Structure 1
Amino acid sequence: MASQTNTATEEIEPTAETPQKKDETETPLESLASISSVLAVGLFVMAFIFQNFEIPSASMVKTLLIGDHVLVDRVSFAPPTKWAFFMHYRDIQRGDVIVFLKPNPETPDLFLVKRAIGLPGDRIHLRNGVLFLNGVAQNEPFAAKPGQTGDPNDAYNPYRDDFPSVPPSQGYDITAQWAEDMPTHIVGDDLVVPPGKVFAMGDNRTESLDGRFWGFVPRENIVGRPLFVYWSFQTPADQIDKQGMGDRVAFMFHVVIHIFDGTRWSRTLHLIK
């Protein structure tokens, strides 16, 4: 006799021992606690680990363009702490792109982005825009030099391009404090970087108001290094000068309208070196 398999079709009724499904509806207080936790973590990350910045000027072209939005690592250059032993720390190296507070009492909250050129003890000078570090001419393919673009601002400038051979008292947008302090750091033809300081310049050497014009960057002023471009929008070069509320609102509307055709998609996630 062939065996026959029976398939149970009856539903099993829950018994007294079967656990009932609990009400998983979240109370308003629990929802508020969840949101607060997310906000707290987000604020911690943005305040102590990463921060976003917008590039407003052409001082770092071609490395960074006007309208680049970059994510900055605030941890690597921070002093090591015992509670965050798992974080990666390292000191600043020559060639690092750094974000720092400008060492100027008139603009104490102004963040700048430049390249670290000289570390404590380094001897620096320029000849016709070419950087000499400790007596050796540097090969810097990223650095713009005088006479390369044909722009009037690109013409040879003795103070800027043969730094520090021309005395700072001759103007050239030099801060009064740096004009007084710079001669004390010159040995022979070179500017010597003092302890606890970094000398920084923009990659676009003919357009950058950098350490040549306001001096050294104190180590404690350096807040981090930009990692990559997370968004880049085509921005007029003179936008930085438009500080009026009407101008800002107009540009915000411009961004909204042209968000797709104005975005430089090829620069998304572009690594900064």
Structure 2
Amino acid sequence: MASEPEEVTAKQVDQTETPLESLASICTVLAIGLFVMTFVFQNYEIPSASMTQTLLIGDHVLVDRTSFAPPTKWAPFVHYRDVHRGDVIVFYKPNPETPDLFLVKRAIGIPGDRIHLRNGIVYLNGVEQNEPQAGKPSADGDPQHAYNPYRDDFPDVPPGPMESGEVTASWALDLPNHIQNGDLVVPPGMVFAMGDNRTESLDGRYWGFVPRQNIVGRPLFVYWSFETPADQIEKTSMGDRLSFMAHILIHFFDETRWRRTFHIIR
């Protein structure tokens, strides 16, 4: 007589995640995100017009913090390299009065380079540079863009009354030590940087060289750009900030520069 098949009852497994497991998952994601945004990438907002046309006020950029960092054995897969001429760099301003201020400029000279400007045009190691993105003095009647001997023939003309309050006292004293035959010579461990909007940029001409260790990374692309007033950086009160945040919420769609989304920075 054939035996009846043995009935097998499947045990139901409870796959519901416990609150503790959910919390652990969230903490893991946050920890990974915090690590990436602290040590790999970081976002910055462009507050001034010193890099126009390359970067606009209100551009929000993603910055690569690894390429210029010192190589480490625990991350051999990361591509490291030194700063090249022409790189757009993010760095701490070399000024003891504002040690936590980040700036974005373009690296013009690296150690050993000889630099001078003539009528706003950069000469690097004796060769005139073709910089279509760089703003130059003009005769359009705007005093901001008019020829300025110190700014546009740097370092041939010493700082004068027009530069009072703009050239730091330490740089005014140190500048002559780095001039040879009319050229500024970049010393070891330093980078000379200027903004692309040369007539409106308070850059290395006014405060000196950027120590290599001050450089934190390079901006990769614009992930969001919002039309922002030029004087917004000066509005630091809580009321002004809340007012501008409300303005962003109201005008997010019509004042976002959509064409600049994912704009690659070169």
Tell me the distance in 2 between the aligned counterparts of 1:130 and 1:145.
7
8 Å Cα contact 1:80/1:89 also seen in 2: yes
Q: Deviations over 1:156-178 (max 9, x none)?
A: 11100000011136561100110
Q: After TM superposition, what 4+ stretches of structure 1 lie above 6 angstroms from structure 2? A: none
Aligned residues of 2:150 and 2:160 also touching (Cα < 8 A): no
1:239 — aligned with what? 232
> Deviation per CA, 1:39-79, whole angstroms, max 9, x where unpaired?
10000000000000000000000000000000000000001
2:158 aligned to which of 167, 175, 181: 167
Q: Contact (CA 8 Å) 1:73, 1:227: kept in 2 or not?
A: yes
C-alpha distance in structure 1 between counterparts of 2:132 and 2:139, whole Å: 12
Are 2:97 and 1:114 aligned? no
Structure 2: unaligned runs, 5 residues or longer: none
Change (3 A) 1:38 1:170: same
Q: Residue 186 of structure 1 is aligned with which of 169, 179, 187?
A: 179
Instruction: Indicate yes or no: 2:56 matched with 1:59.
Output: no
If you compute each CA radius of gyration, which structure gives the higher value, 1 or 2? 1
Cα distance between partner residues in 1 of 2:217 and 2:93: 13
Secondary structure class of the residue paired with 2:74: helix
Scaled by the length of structure 2, the TM-score of the pair is 0.95
C-alpha RMSD over aligned residues: 1.5
Q: Give % identity.
A: 74
Query: What secondary structure is seen at the aligned counterpart in 2 of 1:255?
Result: helix
Give the aligned partner of residue 270 of structure 1. 263
- The 3 A distance-change label for structure 1 pair 29 and 187 is same
1:84 to 2:84 alignment: no
Contact 1:96 1:115 in 2 (8 A): yes
Amino acid at match of 2:80: Y
Shift of 1:188: 1.1
Distance change in 2, residues 1:240/1:158 (3 Å):
same
Is 2:23 the counterpart of 1:32? yes
Are the equivalent residues in 2 in contact too, given 1:169–1:179 (CA < 8 A)? no
1:204 aligned partner: 197
Aligned residue pair count: 260
Whether contact under 8 Å (2:62, 2:220) holds in the other structure is yes
